[in-house]
Chains A and B, each alone.
Chain A
Amino acid sequence: MSFLDNNLLTLILFFPVASSLVLLFLPGKEKKLIRWVALLASLVPLILSIILWLNFKTGIKGFQFEEHYVWYSAINSSYHLGIDGISLTMVLLTTLLIPIAILASFNIEENVKAYMVLFLLLETGLLGVFVSLDLLLFFVFWEIGLVPMYFLINQWGSEKGERELWGGIKVKARTYASFKFLIYTMTGSLGLLLAIQMIGVVSGTFDLPTLFASWTTLNQSLFGLPIETVKTIAFWAFTIAFALKVPVWPFHTWLPDAHTEAPTAGSMILAGVLLKLGAYGFLRLVLPLYPVESKHYAGALAFLATMSIIFGAFSAFGQRDFKRLVAYSSVNHMGFVVLGIAAAARVQGTENAVIALNGAVLQMFNHGISAAGMFFLVGVIYSRTHTRNLDDYGGLFTLVPVYGGILIFTSMGALGLPGLNGFVSEFLVVRGSWPIFSVYTAFAMVGLLFTGAYVLKGIKQVLHGPLNEKWIGHLSEISAREVIVIAPLMVIMLWIGVWPAWILNVINRAVEVLF
């Protein structure tokens, strides 16, 4: 067991890649086999992360399950993995959502092998970001995750739709969306890479725990630039990269495009995990490395967060496309994450900060669960009706009562109904940020009100009202496989809503010692 104990993170991290190599050697025509192998392969990291979760000790300060090997000794970068409560939560979220997303993609028929290989590759990329304790490694994984997602949107995205660029030039919607997604993230990556290089050169190491200890008090110049300037540049580079990824208003417009055009499982992972990378970056790098700067600019961040909350909700409410409505809800929900982070940055180390961060991290997890569920449910109805236009549905509750019940349940989780998961985290964010940003928190309530409005709009247009008769006989009830996909998400939504202590215990200890 000691090998397993010592290398658990590596195993979780590289198992998906290893199994994707196996997949490569399977014959492409055996679709069923490929699907099942991919699913089983993705279950292994899930089981391992549950073992990880059970063996994680909440009382300990610092990182656990650390692995430290020489990797790139010439520039002092090492293969350094480790987790604390925040990363553990995100690892669990990722390893949980990937098998669910793979099971949800069992109806993919085109090029199944490439699809599954990309998906497993994606998993490694995402997990790598959460477990890296070395800046360069962090960056490598940050970029790796981008590539599979680009192809998933670009190749398996929605068939229909066009976007007009300028002067009448039109491109396929999925081409547009995938390109926008890629360029946007790359823009952030540029600064991120620059900042990481600067830090590496100034401090002589990329190792995060070492940096946490030394960076804030570091006093050295880089090519004649004073350390203050270096820090400011690096701070902004980080902030922009992560703000684009979250995304924070007004950098959010790639999100509705990418989420809408991606295949169902792609949207699930985009909303479920990819958006969390940005927020995780704030928590892991920006707050600990730049306590002074983040405190100084916390107000601005809170402002942008509030704008995300409000305008995300408004824009969601203004949609006629069901999937785009759900996509915009992510802008709205991630706004609460950022609001919590901003509040915590302003009053680091206080009880309010801890509560706000608890809320932010839990909201990351919760949004991952409920957004994945919502996108999946949109996919279920789309795969049957081949329309996403809300005006084309109507009164479907009569035809698909089970689906209807599940949709209402999941929507209520997204809406933040007490008793389900979203409420706990939103409440904590509101509680944590009220004493610090009272006015912003109050304005965020406008967003919360319209969260209700758009969620109900979705239910109203799809399920309620007079039955649109053209679907009679053309709409089958949600299948057993699809119920198996959504059921674990529903259980978790209820579980966290009723008894959040199991997960907050882990988060709480981690955010207490974050600064």
Chain B
Amino acid sequence: MKFMLIWRVTSDEAWGNLGEVDFDAMLETVGRFNEEMINAGVLLAAEGLAPAEEGVVVDFSSEPPVVTDGPYGETKELFNGFYLINVPTLEDAVEWAKRTPMSAAGFKTEVRRVTTVDEFPQDNEWIKKERAWRESTGQL
């Protein structure tokens, strides 16, 4: 089963503390964790996101929707990157999530199962189109 581990920093204080961390030290800490997952043969993909300050949000609370520059909303709404892993059970995914580095109060890792193409009606026209697109681009 594929799971996504979503890395979140949910308080301003935790976010602030992160700014204090030595960049090289952080690269090493995260790098070691990445390597552990690669060595264990479970890591499929990983990406990190640029700071929310560079982001933009489209908010549908009003009509027409409002487009706002980042940083937007509450810090607790932000997520900052993900790992995609392949493990046999939810418990394995949780065990890897518990090993996420840069962990302290205010940091959270969300574990979500990734759906597979089989879970959708195969004869649906739009599912067929999506599969064709995935095939042509080598998507996950």
Answer yes or no: are A and B bound together in one complex.
no
Give me the interface of A with B, judged by CB distance under 8 Å: none
